[in-house]
Structure 1
Amino acid sequence: MWYYQSKRDDSVVIAKLTALANELPTRGFDEYYQRIRREGLRWNRKRVLRVYRSMKLQLRQT
């Protein structure tokens, strides 16, 4: 059987989220995504959220 093999490379998104997490450790996804958009990077919100969750950067809401 043949299955679809994804060709996506999220290394750039991972690097950017890592840099933001190191710079602003107490902020959440919304702040990171707004900063990414302000820099002019046109990444899809669902893509960035998927990578954010896979990196386990989720903060607990208090």
Structure 2
Amino acid sequence: MWYYRSKKDDSEVIEKLNQLAESHPTRGFDEYFGRIWQQGLKWNRKRVLRVYRAMKLGLRRKRK
């Protein structure tokens, strides 16, 4: 049998989310997605949310 293999390449999304998380560590997903959208990157909200959750950015980070 043959099974479908996903061809997802989310490296650009991961890179952008890392960049935003480093520059604005206390913001949430809505803020990050809004900034991505304003920059003209028309990625699907579901895709960005899936990557955001996989990176475990939804966990609260401690502030100094």
RMSD: 0.8
What is the identity, as a one-letter code, of the residue corresponding to 2:29? F
Which blocks of at least 5 consecutive residues in structure 2 are unaligned?
A: none
CA distance in 2, matches of 1:3, 1:28: 36
Aligned length: 60
Which blocks of at least 5 consecutive residues in structure 1 are unaligned?
A: none
The TM-score, its normalising length taken from structure 2, stands at 0.90
What is the identity, as a one-letter code, of the residue corresponding to 1:34? G
Listed as ranges, the matches of 1:1-62 within 5 Å are 1-60=1-60
- Give the percent of matched residue pairs that are identical in Structure 1 and Structure 2: 72
The TM-score, its normalising length taken from structure 1, stands at 0.93
Q: Runs ≥4 in structure 1, deviation > 4 angstroms?
A: none
